[in-house]
Amino acid sequence: MKHLAQKPFALIGVNIFDYEPKKLKEVMDKEQITWRSIASQAVTSRWNAGTPTYYVIDVKGVIRYKWVGSPGEKAIDGALEKLIRQAEIDAKSLRGDPAEK
């Protein structure tokens, strides 16, 4: 996913326990997790997530993919690339549309 660093993309982690930020940071350091995370049991149960669960959300905030258990790196990358490409095309056509100016 490193190649997505320059793209309109964010990886957000939700740790499934109720850790205070300090404890969360400790766990993340230990696990070498570098992406922004929160920790919440309430969010986990509301989103009906076990570990690992992945949700892919598009630029409009709509859930586009959901996987309980890893679908494989290829599937995740494929989904992200598809949505990012779509977002870039949409952004371009918006800029090109005189009605928007």
Partner 1 sequence: MRFIIPLFAFLGLDTAVRGAEPRAGAPETLAQEYQKVLKESGQVRPGFRDAKTDEERKQAVEATGEFARRFVKLAEKYPNDPMALEVVTRAVTTMNGEDSAITMSWVMNKSVFPSRSEDGAAAEATALLVRDHLRSEKLGVVVERMRYGTRQEYETFLHRVIKDSPHKEVRGMACLCLAQFLNSQSKRLDLLDVRPELAIRYQELLGKDYYERLQRKGRDGRIKEIETLLEQAAAKYGDVAMPWGGPVGEQASRELFELRHFGVGKPAEDILGDDQDGKPFKLSDYRGKVVLLYFWSEY
**H-helix or E-strand spanning residue 56:** strand 53-57
Amino acid in the structure at residue 50 = G
**Read out DSSP for 80-95?**
HHHHHHHHHHHHHHHH
Query: What minimum distance in Å lies between the beta carbon of 101 and partner 1?
Result: 19
Output the smallest distance, CB 67 to partner 1, in A: 8
- Minimum Å gap between C-beta 52 and partner 1 is 6
Q: Which of 2, 3, 60, 101 binds partner 1 (CB under 8 A)?
A: 60
* One of 30, 98, 100, 101 touching partner 1 (CB under 8 A): 30
